[in-house]
Structure 1
Amino acid sequence: MINSKRGGGASEEAFALLGHEIRLDILRAFFERYAPVDPGSRSDVREERTLSYAELMAATDMEDSGKFNYHLEKLRGIYVEEIEEGYVPTAGAIALYEAVIANRPTESVPTNFDIDESCPNCESRLQGKYEQEFLTVECSACDLFWGATYRFPKNGLSVREGENVYEALYDRMMYHVGLARTGQCPSCAGITSLTVPRERLDEDSTPTAEMTCETCSWFVTVDILSALQFDPQMTNAFLELGVPLSGSGSMRATEQILPNVTGRVSTDDSSRATISISHGDAIAKITVGDELEVCSVTIE
């Protein structure tokens, strides 16, 4: 799997709202005592995350109520919501807090390291690389293993090592790919567009799928099997082919057969692609629509 993060038009207004120390102090006041609860939780639990106007003002060390109220109003409805008992952080503020925790400065994390896991094609030890908070798993000994590059929070590396890093990266990617295939961006909940690049349907290259958010800059290119593997028809096809899906998220299983996966534009409908998977003495042919829907599966 290969991921690319496109440069996008981030909202200047959203950043501007946080561009003042007083507003940051207001948000910090919530999270110094924050415990995540849902809106329907018991009142005594909800009370723990609720701050009064006076408590928020005290947290900023301000004495000018007019100036404080000006900054509080800037946050209201976006990062702060007023309820009968006081003020609570919105889901947007909570997401901001979680992003800070996920990528907060930590003790040094490795930039290049061995992973205690072998390449599914040549059995060489896999390598890990961490740059700009993107984690890459690759094989330096062969060209058949696709490998993976994806955003991975620094916190995830600081609490894992070795094979656990490999598994965590793959599970994270597949969770996001599965969500994006339903049409929802895993980053901003926007609408994703799904395409199968026609230039990869030359009956020689490994077919891929591209998933792009129409709102933010989330973008991923992934091999076609990873994009489709959660479809029940594909699961049945793998089983009929004898592909060992011993683990629900086994990258090794699909990586082993990728060299035998090809695609072409369907002869009876140019908006569809026909994907061929050879394994053992059998061939599976999957017809995929232009939005990655599985139209048909046949085993020969």
Structure 2
Amino acid sequence: MTRNDLCWCGSGRKYKKCHLSFDEKIKNIPLDILKGQVRPPKSIIKNDIDIEGIRKSSTINNAALDLVGANIKVGIDTETLNQLAHNFIIEQGGIPACLNFEGYPKSICISINDVVCHGIPSKKTILKDGDIVNVDITTILDGYYADASRMFIVGKASVEAETLVRVAKECMELGIAAIKPWGFLGDIGAAVEAHAHAHGYSVVTELGGHGVGKQFHEEPFVPHTGEKNTGMLLVPGMVLTVEPMINIGKYKVIVDRKDNWTVYTKDHSLSAQWEKTLLITEDGVEALSE
């Protein structure tokens, strides 16, 4: 590619004014710093058009989470919350990404207490006083995805449950704080794992974060355990989620054999998760969907 060719990222700009310096920086990173770790494929680097698309989708996704959060209360069934989010996303011109994804039957995931993720909303599932609830929403707008989840405490929960929800959020925040342009993917998991273990909690290892863009799950897989200075190089233009699943008990999980979706803690201990979609910038990180 010459300096005056159109850039490989699809921005429509000349290479010399777009990703030339980016490519030179990656090429010139000393091998003793890379230590054999993985350079990100160009296919996952987002241009300005992509980023704006994800940002617009995130605006709808964030508002859908706000709407669900405003209606969560003791006595409401989770299907009603699902319909609220579904209708709102459609009204805004978006598509609920979860609906019919690999056979998933609802538009959002609602996971309660010992459900780690992928809880299926139902008229029969009524929220009770003391429940801790994860609501996970993914929106598609004009082909771009946005993904986030939040925890909600219904009524008055136990101190044990409240502490787990707080620490799980801190784990996510510390994982995000560990993201540095030209740092490494393993830095995220190292930060999450250290904080969880310091509180006596475990981190689910079978599930993790992922890249975000024009597909539901893109590269890279984002583990929430790991070692600093290992894994894929993190560079400006990457968009990914940090979404640690933190258990009071052991880290192992099981999938419901009846619905093939709902993931429980194997020991039925409480679990909590927070998630944001994040853009890596030249200066740090920007939360898009949260």
Q: Same fold (TM over 0.5)?
A: no
User: For this structure pair, what is the TM-score category when the shorter chain's length is used for normalisation?
Assistant: under 0.3
Q: Which one scores higher on RCO, CA 8 angstroms, separation ≥ 6?
A: 2
Query: Higher Cα Rg: structure 1 or 2?
Result: 1
Q: TM-score, normalised by structure 1?
A: 0.25
